[in-house]
Structure 1
């Protein structure tokens, strides 16, 4: 991903995920990350102490909180870890999305990641939500959910996000990234970004 031009790399600290990494694996992976590329740690319903234990061994720049963490819990995590954070929100059909985003914005989120909703899974579903629901607000919004090399240019053109987040859409199989798909995806990112700035 880095060689293809990614600005940030995500490390999943959630053991049920097929993409999860151990602290030792994360330490090894970070030796390959160049300067100026952000390292993001993804956590799902982890306690502040569990996150702090990871941070004592893994140099993460940003925390992505991808579970059912309340705004108050996110604030507690931020105060203890001294890290910037953003909240992943699953776009449920009946959710007041703008109100939900603002709850976390007021709690200090640096950004909000909008993902497809699934009743059981916390991200990595390969599903996408209705991009017409993507709001325009005064906080950076990250688009996730069902993105792949074939739809990323259209997704960026329609939603004009601050950033995009991809995982399954560039995998040969679950947890195994495909360099060819990554390169094609990044070409689509550049194409969509160019259209947005026209």
Structure 2
């Protein structure tokens, strides 16, 4: 399982957390978020993929941010349609990954995923809540057994140190773990010590 650390905001903290070499780092380009990023991303180790997180943004503005920040992945966290994803896919570099987010509740119908399989690279399953993300709560992961899609997925939503054992016992093909609010000192400011501990435990699970 790969690791994505999302909601990065402050340059010094970005560099500090980047030294842990996560596979992905997420930057939220959604103005209503407390983790809204409106600066310049410091230079990172090339193995770290920079992810731009967008909520119902236009294709033009997404491409603008890709070019401005040299993003390697785009995360769509709104109600973007299949047609929107297809248009974006057609207009961006094929090497740029598209991650489509779905908010999961107990009544989620996994059949809605099927039309998106050909227009994105990954799914991301997050907890359904009041906000598009960063609600700090997990959803019932057992519902993922209803997922029949072949598409690799990120697991998100309130994941902290206490969830490592449950992740290990999940026995599902999770491509990456996405962490955010449970490792914060304040919105956008991550606790490196907690993340170091989490990454070490995640690596043990991967063995």
Normalising by the smaller structure, the TM-score range is 0.7 to 0.9
Indicate the residue corresponding to 1:149 in structure 2.
161
Indicate the residue corresponding to 2:8 in structure 1.
none
Indicate the residue corresponding to 1:14 in structure 2.
30
2:178 counterpart (159, 165, 173): 165
Q: CA deviation at 1:138?
A: 1.9
Q: Deviations over 1:13-64 (max 9, x none)?
A: 1111111111xx2x3x241x11121111100000101112212311001100
| TM-score, normalised relative to structure 1 | 0.87
| TM-score, normalised relative to structure 2 | 0.83
Indicate the residue corresponding to 1:125 in structure 2.
135
Query: Match of 1:57, SS?
Result: helix
Would the aligned equivalents of 1:153 and 1:193 in 2 still touch at CA under 8 Å? Answer: no
Query: Match of 1:181, SS?
Result: helix
Q: CA deviation at 1:180?
A: 1.1
How far apart in 2 are the matches of 1:103 and 1:133?
20
Q: Comparing both chains, which one has the higher relative contact order based on Cα–Cα distances under 8 Å and sequence gaps of 6 or more?
A: 2
How far apart in 2 are the matches of 1:136 and 1:172?
37
Long gaps (5+) in structure 1: none
Indicate the residue corresponding to 1:68 in structure 2.
79
Root-mean-square deviation over aligned CA pairs: 1.6
How far apart in 1 are the matches of 2:33 and 2:140?
25
Equivalent pairs counted in the alignment come to: 186
How far apart in 2 are the matches of 1:190 and 1:113?
21
